[in-house]
Structure 1
Amino acid sequence: MIQSKKEYLEYLTEDKNSLGIKTNWKTPIKELIAPNYIWKFQKKLRKLEYYKNSRTDFLGKLYGSFLKIRFRKYSLRMGFSIPINVFGPGLAIVHYGTIVINDKAKIGKNCRIHANTNIGASGGSKKAPQIGNNVYIGPGAKIFGDITIGNNIAIAANSSVNKSFNEDGIMLAGSPAKRIKEIDIKNIIPNSNI
Protein backbone atom coordinates (compact mmCIF):
# COMPACT_ATOMS: atom_id res chain seq x y z
CA MET A 1 0.00 0.00 0.00
CA ILE A 2 1.41 3.36 -1.04
CA GLN A 3 2.17 5.52 1.99
CA SER A 4 4.44 8.25 0.60
CA LYS A 5 5.44 10.11 -2.56
CA LYS A 6 8.61 8.00 -2.72
CA GLU A 7 6.60 4.75 -2.63
CA TYR A 8 4.22 6.16 -5.25
CA LEU A 9 7.13 6.76 -7.63
CA GLU A 10 8.59 3.31 -6.85
CA TYR A 11 5.24 1.64 -7.64
CA LEU A 12 5.03 3.52 -10.95
CA THR A 13 8.55 2.43 -11.87
CA GLU A 14 7.85 -1.22 -10.99
CA ASP A 15 4.56 -1.21 -12.92
CA LYS A 16 6.26 0.35 -15.94
CA ASN A 17 9.01 -2.28 -15.87
CA SER A 18 6.48 -5.11 -15.52
CA LEU A 19 4.60 -3.84 -18.56
CA GLY A 20 7.88 -3.62 -20.49
CA ILE A 21 7.45 0.08 -21.23
CA LYS A 22 10.58 1.86 -22.37
CA THR A 23 10.68 5.65 -22.60
CA ASN A 24 12.78 7.89 -24.82
CA TRP A 25 12.35 11.11 -26.80
CA LYS A 26 9.77 9.41 -29.09
CA THR A 27 7.46 8.44 -26.21
CA PRO A 28 5.29 11.63 -26.14
CA ILE A 29 4.71 11.37 -29.91
CA LYS A 30 3.88 7.67 -29.66
CA GLU A 31 1.46 8.32 -26.79
CA LEU A 32 -0.25 11.02 -28.82
CA ILE A 33 -0.71 8.76 -31.87
CA ALA A 34 -1.31 5.40 -30.16
CA PRO A 35 -1.82 5.78 -26.39
CA ASN A 36 -1.23 2.83 -24.09
CA TYR A 37 -4.57 2.83 -22.25
CA ILE A 38 -3.61 0.09 -19.83
CA TRP A 39 -0.58 2.10 -18.69
CA LYS A 40 -2.80 5.19 -18.36
CA PHE A 41 -5.22 3.15 -16.22
CA GLN A 42 -2.42 1.88 -13.98
CA LYS A 43 -1.03 5.39 -13.53
CA LYS A 44 -4.50 6.60 -12.49
CA LEU A 45 -4.82 3.66 -10.08
CA ARG A 46 -1.49 4.43 -8.40
CA LYS A 47 -2.16 8.16 -8.23
CA LEU A 48 -5.53 7.57 -6.56
CA GLU A 49 -3.89 5.17 -4.08
CA TYR A 50 -1.29 7.83 -3.24
CA TYR A 51 -3.89 10.55 -2.66
CA LYS A 52 -6.22 8.28 -0.70
CA ASN A 53 -3.49 6.92 1.61
CA SER A 54 -1.07 9.81 1.97
CA ARG A 55 -2.73 13.14 1.32
CA THR A 56 -5.00 13.80 4.27
CA ASP A 57 -4.91 17.59 3.96
CA PHE A 58 -7.96 19.44 2.59
CA LEU A 59 -6.55 19.99 -0.91
CA GLY A 60 -5.33 16.40 -1.05
CA LYS A 61 -8.78 15.07 -0.13
CA LEU A 62 -10.45 17.42 -2.62
CA TYR A 63 -8.14 16.38 -5.47
CA GLY A 64 -8.49 12.74 -4.36
CA SER A 65 -12.28 13.01 -4.80
CA PHE A 66 -11.78 14.38 -8.30
CA LEU A 67 -9.35 11.54 -9.11
CA LYS A 68 -11.85 8.97 -7.82
CA ILE A 69 -14.51 10.20 -10.27
CA ARG A 70 -12.07 10.15 -13.19
CA PHE A 71 -10.77 6.72 -12.17
CA ARG A 72 -14.29 5.28 -12.02
CA LYS A 73 -15.09 6.56 -15.53
CA TYR A 74 -11.84 5.17 -16.88
CA SER A 75 -12.46 1.82 -15.18
CA LEU A 76 -15.87 1.51 -16.82
CA ARG A 77 -14.42 2.36 -20.21
CA MET A 78 -11.68 -0.28 -19.84
CA GLY A 79 -13.94 -2.98 -18.35
CA PHE A 80 -11.91 -3.14 -15.13
CA SER A 81 -13.43 -3.34 -11.67
CA ILE A 82 -10.17 -3.00 -9.75
CA PRO A 83 -10.28 -1.26 -6.36
CA ILE A 84 -7.34 0.65 -4.93
CA ASN A 85 -4.86 -0.85 -2.44
CA VAL A 86 -5.17 -4.42 -3.73
CA PHE A 87 -2.04 -4.92 -5.87
CA GLY A 88 1.56 -4.55 -4.79
CA PRO A 89 4.19 -2.96 -7.06
CA GLY A 90 4.93 -4.51 -10.44
CA LEU A 91 1.34 -4.96 -11.64
CA ALA A 92 1.01 -5.90 -15.32
CA ILE A 93 -2.49 -5.91 -16.79
CA VAL A 94 -1.87 -7.65 -20.09
CA HIS A 95 -5.06 -7.07 -22.12
CA TYR A 96 -8.27 -5.07 -22.17
CA GLY A 97 -11.35 -6.91 -20.97
CA THR A 98 -13.32 -7.66 -17.88
CA ILE A 99 -11.30 -7.94 -14.70
CA VAL A 100 -13.25 -8.01 -11.42
CA ILE A 101 -11.41 -7.85 -8.09
CA ASN A 102 -12.94 -7.80 -4.60
CA ASP A 103 -11.73 -4.90 -2.48
CA LYS A 104 -10.81 -7.30 0.36
CA ALA A 105 -8.38 -9.26 -1.87
CA LYS A 106 -4.66 -8.65 -1.46
CA ILE A 107 -2.16 -9.46 -4.19
CA GLY A 108 1.60 -9.15 -3.75
CA LYS A 109 4.25 -7.68 -6.01
CA ASN A 110 4.83 -8.64 -9.66
CA CYS A 111 1.36 -9.88 -10.55
CA ARG A 112 0.67 -10.47 -14.25
CA ILE A 113 -3.08 -10.64 -14.86
CA HIS A 114 -5.09 -11.32 -18.01
CA ALA A 115 -8.61 -10.47 -19.15
CA ASN A 116 -11.83 -12.15 -17.98
CA THR A 117 -10.50 -12.90 -14.53
CA ASN A 118 -12.41 -12.71 -11.29
CA ILE A 119 -10.94 -12.60 -7.78
CA GLY A 120 -13.63 -12.44 -5.14
CA ALA A 121 -15.48 -13.65 -2.09
CA SER A 122 -17.66 -16.75 -2.02
CA GLY A 123 -20.93 -17.82 -0.47
CA GLY A 124 -21.79 -14.54 1.22
CA SER A 125 -18.45 -14.35 3.05
CA LYS A 126 -16.66 -11.02 3.06
CA LYS A 127 -13.23 -12.67 2.99
CA ALA A 128 -11.39 -12.72 -0.33
CA PRO A 129 -8.20 -14.41 -1.58
CA GLN A 130 -4.78 -13.38 -0.29
CA ILE A 131 -2.28 -13.94 -3.10
CA GLY A 132 1.51 -13.89 -2.81
CA ASN A 133 4.28 -12.36 -4.92
CA ASN A 134 5.21 -13.19 -8.52
CA VAL A 135 1.88 -14.68 -9.56
CA TYR A 136 0.70 -15.18 -13.13
CA ILE A 137 -3.10 -15.24 -13.54
CA GLY A 138 -4.16 -16.58 -16.94
CA PRO A 139 -7.17 -15.45 -19.00
CA GLY A 140 -10.53 -16.50 -17.60
CA ALA A 141 -9.18 -17.60 -14.20
CA LYS A 142 -11.56 -17.49 -11.24
CA ILE A 143 -10.08 -17.25 -7.75
CA PHE A 144 -12.58 -17.04 -4.92
CA GLY A 145 -13.20 -17.63 -1.25
CA ASP A 146 -11.25 -17.28 1.99
CA ILE A 147 -8.06 -18.78 0.52
CA THR A 148 -4.34 -18.07 0.28
CA ILE A 149 -2.08 -18.57 -2.72
CA GLY A 150 1.70 -18.80 -2.27
CA ASN A 151 4.53 -17.10 -4.16
CA ASN A 152 5.87 -17.80 -7.66
CA ILE A 153 2.65 -19.45 -8.84
CA ALA A 154 1.10 -19.65 -12.30
CA ILE A 155 -2.67 -20.09 -12.57
CA ALA A 156 -3.60 -21.49 -15.98
CA ALA A 157 -6.31 -20.09 -18.25
CA ASN A 158 -9.92 -20.82 -17.27
CA SER A 159 -8.93 -22.37 -13.93
CA SER A 160 -11.18 -22.16 -10.87
CA VAL A 161 -9.22 -21.85 -7.64
CA ASN A 162 -11.38 -22.29 -4.55
CA LYS A 163 -8.91 -23.74 -2.04
CA SER A 164 -5.58 -22.62 -0.63
CA PHE A 165 -2.24 -23.52 -2.24
CA ASN A 166 0.60 -22.45 0.04
CA GLU A 167 3.38 -24.31 -1.80
CA ASP A 168 5.62 -21.97 -3.80
CA GLY A 169 6.78 -22.40 -7.40
CA ILE A 170 3.91 -24.44 -8.83
CA MET A 171 1.38 -24.31 -11.65
CA LEU A 172 -2.34 -24.63 -10.91
CA ALA A 173 -4.85 -25.67 -13.56
CA GLY A 174 -8.33 -27.11 -13.93
CA SER A 175 -11.74 -26.62 -12.46
CA PRO A 176 -11.40 -27.07 -9.54
CA ALA A 177 -7.71 -26.22 -9.74
CA LYS A 178 -5.06 -28.78 -8.87
CA ARG A 179 -1.30 -28.66 -8.57
CA ILE A 180 0.05 -29.63 -11.99
CA LYS A 181 3.83 -29.30 -11.73
CA GLU A 182 6.70 -27.28 -10.35
CA ILE A 183 7.69 -24.24 -12.43
CA ASP A 184 10.27 -21.49 -12.68
CA ILE A 185 8.14 -18.33 -12.66
CA LYS A 186 10.95 -16.35 -14.37
CA ASN A 187 10.04 -18.18 -17.58
CA ILE A 188 6.41 -17.03 -17.33
CA ILE A 189 6.57 -13.46 -15.99
CA PRO A 190 8.89 -11.39 -18.20
CA ASN A 191 10.40 -8.11 -16.99
CA SER A 192 10.05 -9.10 -13.35
CA ASN A 193 12.58 -8.45 -10.60
CA ILE A 194 12.47 -11.88 -9.02
Structure 2
Amino acid sequence: MAEVSEQTKKQVSATEPDWSRETSKNYWNPVVRLIRSIRFYQKYQNKPFLKGLKYFGVVRYRFWSVVSGADIPLNCKIGGGLLIPHPNGIEIHPDAEIGPNCLIFQQVSIGNNGRGVPKLAGHVDLGAGTKILGDIIINNHSKIAANAVVLRNVDEYEKETGVTVK
Protein backbone atom coordinates (compact mmCIF):
# COMPACT_ATOMS: atom_id res chain seq x y z
CA MET A 1 0.00 0.00 0.00
CA ALA A 2 1.30 3.44 -0.91
CA GLU A 3 1.97 6.01 1.80
CA VAL A 4 -0.95 8.43 2.16
CA SER A 5 -0.59 11.93 3.57
CA GLU A 6 -2.54 13.00 6.65
CA GLN A 7 -4.24 15.78 4.65
CA THR A 8 -5.64 13.22 2.19
CA LYS A 9 -6.97 11.09 5.03
CA LYS A 10 -8.89 14.03 6.52
CA GLN A 11 -10.64 15.20 3.34
CA VAL A 12 -13.69 12.89 3.28
CA SER A 13 -14.78 10.75 6.19
CA ALA A 14 -15.24 7.03 5.75
CA THR A 15 -17.42 6.74 8.84
CA GLU A 16 -19.46 9.95 9.26
CA PRO A 17 -21.95 10.58 6.43
CA ASP A 18 -21.88 14.01 4.80
CA TRP A 19 -25.61 14.53 4.22
CA SER A 20 -24.98 17.68 2.18
CA ARG A 21 -23.85 15.41 -0.67
CA GLU A 22 -27.45 14.18 -0.97
CA THR A 23 -29.00 17.62 -1.39
CA SER A 24 -29.66 19.76 -4.42
CA LYS A 25 -30.29 23.45 -4.99
CA ASN A 26 -32.88 22.86 -7.69
CA TYR A 27 -35.91 20.60 -7.78
CA TRP A 28 -35.09 18.69 -10.95
CA ASN A 29 -32.33 16.42 -9.75
CA PRO A 30 -33.48 12.83 -10.37
CA VAL A 31 -30.65 11.20 -8.40
CA VAL A 32 -31.31 13.18 -5.24
CA ARG A 33 -35.03 12.48 -5.58
CA LEU A 34 -34.38 8.76 -6.12
CA ILE A 35 -32.18 8.48 -3.02
CA ARG A 36 -34.70 10.48 -0.98
CA SER A 37 -37.52 8.20 -2.11
CA ILE A 38 -35.52 5.11 -1.06
CA ARG A 39 -34.80 6.64 2.34
CA PHE A 40 -38.48 7.66 2.69
CA TYR A 41 -39.65 4.11 1.96
CA GLN A 42 -37.13 2.59 4.38
CA LYS A 43 -38.30 4.99 7.10
CA TYR A 44 -41.93 3.86 6.81
CA GLN A 45 -41.63 0.24 5.66
CA ASN A 46 -42.01 -1.31 9.14
CA LYS A 47 -44.72 1.02 10.45
CA PRO A 48 -48.04 -0.73 9.78
CA PHE A 49 -50.13 2.19 11.02
CA LEU A 50 -48.60 4.39 8.29
CA LYS A 51 -49.11 1.94 5.42
CA GLY A 52 -50.25 4.71 3.05
CA LEU A 53 -46.92 6.50 3.38
CA LYS A 54 -45.12 3.29 2.52
CA TYR A 55 -47.11 2.94 -0.71
CA PHE A 56 -46.57 6.61 -1.52
CA GLY A 57 -42.83 5.95 -1.12
CA VAL A 58 -43.02 3.05 -3.58
CA VAL A 59 -44.77 5.21 -6.19
CA ARG A 60 -42.19 7.99 -5.73
CA TYR A 61 -39.38 5.44 -6.00
CA ARG A 62 -40.71 3.92 -9.21
CA PHE A 63 -41.14 7.30 -10.84
CA TRP A 64 -37.64 8.55 -9.99
CA SER A 65 -36.11 5.18 -10.83
CA VAL A 66 -37.49 5.39 -14.37
CA VAL A 67 -36.52 9.04 -14.76
CA SER A 68 -32.95 8.50 -13.50
CA GLY A 69 -32.39 5.17 -15.27
CA ALA A 70 -30.86 3.56 -12.18
CA ASP A 71 -31.71 0.17 -10.67
CA ILE A 72 -31.18 0.72 -6.97
CA PRO A 73 -33.50 -1.55 -4.95
CA LEU A 74 -35.73 -0.18 -2.20
CA ASN A 75 -34.33 -2.57 0.41
CA CYS A 76 -30.59 -2.08 -0.22
CA LYS A 77 -28.29 -0.86 2.53
CA ILE A 78 -26.91 2.55 1.56
CA GLY A 79 -24.85 4.71 3.90
CA GLY A 80 -25.41 8.45 4.04
CA GLY A 81 -23.71 10.87 1.69
CA LEU A 82 -24.03 8.74 -1.45
CA LEU A 83 -23.08 10.80 -4.50
CA ILE A 84 -24.20 9.74 -7.98
CA PRO A 85 -23.45 12.42 -10.60
CA HIS A 86 -24.72 10.36 -13.56
CA PRO A 87 -27.21 7.64 -12.53
CA ASN A 88 -27.94 6.05 -15.91
CA GLY A 89 -27.37 2.28 -15.97
CA ILE A 90 -26.39 1.81 -12.34
CA GLU A 91 -27.35 -1.63 -11.01
CA ILE A 92 -27.02 -2.56 -7.34
CA HIS A 93 -27.85 -5.98 -5.89
CA PRO A 94 -30.50 -5.81 -3.12
CA ASP A 95 -28.16 -7.48 -0.60
CA ALA A 96 -25.13 -5.31 -1.37
CA GLU A 97 -23.94 -2.85 1.28
CA ILE A 98 -22.65 0.62 0.47
CA GLY A 99 -20.87 2.64 3.15
CA PRO A 100 -21.05 6.37 3.79
CA ASN A 101 -19.79 9.03 1.37
CA CYS A 102 -19.34 6.76 -1.65
CA LEU A 103 -19.18 8.06 -5.21
CA ILE A 104 -20.72 6.01 -8.03
CA PHE A 105 -20.61 6.98 -11.70
CA GLN A 106 -22.78 5.70 -14.57
CA GLN A 107 -23.05 2.09 -15.79
CA VAL A 108 -21.70 0.61 -12.52
CA SER A 109 -22.79 -2.90 -11.52
CA ILE A 110 -22.51 -4.10 -7.93
CA GLY A 111 -23.72 -7.65 -7.93
CA ASN A 112 -23.64 -11.35 -7.34
CA ASN A 113 -21.44 -13.78 -9.24
CA GLY A 114 -22.84 -16.89 -7.57
CA ARG A 115 -20.66 -16.56 -4.47
CA GLY A 116 -22.24 -13.67 -2.62
CA VAL A 117 -22.49 -9.89 -2.93
CA PRO A 118 -19.95 -7.12 -2.35
CA LYS A 119 -19.64 -4.74 0.56
CA LEU A 120 -18.31 -1.24 -0.01
CA ALA A 121 -16.83 0.49 3.03
CA GLY A 122 -16.75 4.28 3.48
CA HIS A 123 -15.63 6.77 0.82
CA VAL A 124 -15.19 4.38 -2.08
CA ASP A 125 -15.07 5.93 -5.57
CA LEU A 126 -16.29 3.79 -8.49
CA GLY A 127 -15.51 4.98 -12.02
CA ALA A 128 -17.87 4.68 -14.97
CA GLY A 129 -18.57 1.13 -16.13
CA THR A 130 -17.03 -0.55 -13.08
CA LYS A 131 -18.18 -4.08 -12.21
CA ILE A 132 -17.87 -5.20 -8.57
CA LEU A 133 -18.84 -8.87 -8.33
CA GLY A 134 -18.87 -11.53 -5.65
CA ASP A 135 -18.42 -11.81 -1.91
CA ILE A 136 -15.70 -9.16 -1.60
CA ILE A 137 -14.96 -6.10 0.51
CA ILE A 138 -13.83 -2.79 -0.96
CA ASN A 139 -12.21 -1.02 2.01
CA ASN A 140 -12.23 2.66 3.01
CA HIS A 141 -10.95 5.37 0.65
CA SER A 142 -10.42 2.96 -2.27
CA LYS A 143 -10.69 4.11 -5.86
CA ILE A 144 -11.75 1.84 -8.70
CA ALA A 145 -10.95 3.09 -12.22
CA ALA A 146 -13.42 3.27 -15.07
CA ASN A 147 -14.36 -0.06 -16.68
CA ALA A 148 -12.51 -2.09 -14.04
CA VAL A 149 -13.77 -5.54 -13.09
CA VAL A 150 -13.07 -6.29 -9.44
CA LEU A 151 -13.34 -9.87 -8.17
CA ARG A 152 -11.11 -9.66 -5.06
CA ASN A 153 -10.87 -7.64 -1.86
CA VAL A 154 -9.38 -4.15 -2.14
CA ASP A 155 -7.29 -2.65 0.67
CA GLU A 156 -7.62 0.87 2.12
CA TYR A 157 -6.39 3.68 -0.13
CA GLU A 158 -5.74 1.18 -2.94
CA LYS A 159 -6.43 2.05 -6.57
CA GLU A 160 -7.62 -0.70 -8.92
CA THR A 161 -7.62 -0.73 -12.70
CA GLY A 162 -8.38 -3.34 -15.32
CA VAL A 163 -9.45 -6.82 -14.24
CA THR A 164 -8.48 -7.91 -10.73
CA VAL A 165 -8.92 -11.58 -9.92
CA LYS A 166 -8.50 -13.28 -6.56
Q: Over residues 58-114 of structure 1, what are the superposed CA-to-partner deviations in whole Å (9 max), with x where a residue is unaligned? A: 2x2222022113312321221111023421011001113110000110011001100
Partner residue of 2:139?
150
Output the CA distance in 2 between the equivalents of 1:63 and 1:147. Answer: 35
Q: 1:78 to 1:47 in 2, by over 3 A?
A: same
Q: Does 1:96 align with 2:87?
A: yes
Q: Is the 8 A contact 2:33 2:64 kept in 1?
A: no
- The alignment partner of 2:40 has SS state of helix
Output the CA distance in 1 between the equivalents of 2:29 and 2:96. Answer: 26
Q: Over residues 149-171 of structure 1, what are the superposed CA-to-partner deviations in whole Å (9 max), with x where a residue is unaligned? A: 11110111000001112x21111
Output the CA distance in 1 between the equivalents of 2:90 and 2:38. Answer: 14
Q: 2:156 aligns with which of 160, 165, 168?
A: 168
TM-score, structure 2 as length reference: 0.80
Q: 2:58 aligns with which of 53, 56, 68?
A: 68
Output the CA distance in 1 between the equivalents of 2:65 and 2:84. Answer: 13
Structure 1 residue runs of 4+, over 6 Å off?
none
Output the CA distance in 2 between the equivalents of 1:117 and 1:109. Answer: 17
Q: Over residues 116-140 of structure 1, what are the superposed CA-to-partner deviations in whole Å (9 max), with x where a residue is unaligned? A: 00000003x4x21011101001100
Q: 1:19 to 1:50 in 2, by over 3 A?
A: closer
Output the CA distance in 2 between the equivalents of 1:150 and 1:158. Answer: 19
TM-score, structure 1 as length reference: 0.69
Partner residue of 1:112?
103
> Greater Rg, structure 1 or structure 2?
1
Output the CA distance in 2 between the equivalents of 1:37 and 1:82. Answer: 13
For structure 1, the residue ranges without an aligned partner over 5 or more in a row are 1-12, 22-26, 179-194
| Structure with more contact order per residue of length (Cα contacts < 8 Å, sep ≥ 6) | 2
Q: Give the fraction of aligned pairs with identical amino acids, expressed as a percent.
A: 32
CA RMSD of aligned residues (A): 2.1
Match for 1:18: what amino acid?
R
More helix per residue: 1 or 2? Answer: 1
**1:14, CA displacement in angstroms?**
3.2
Partner residue of 2:129?
140
Partner residue of 1:18?
21
For structure 2, the residue ranges without an aligned partner over 5 or more in a row are 1-16
Q: 1:121 aligns with which of 112, 122, 125?
A: 112
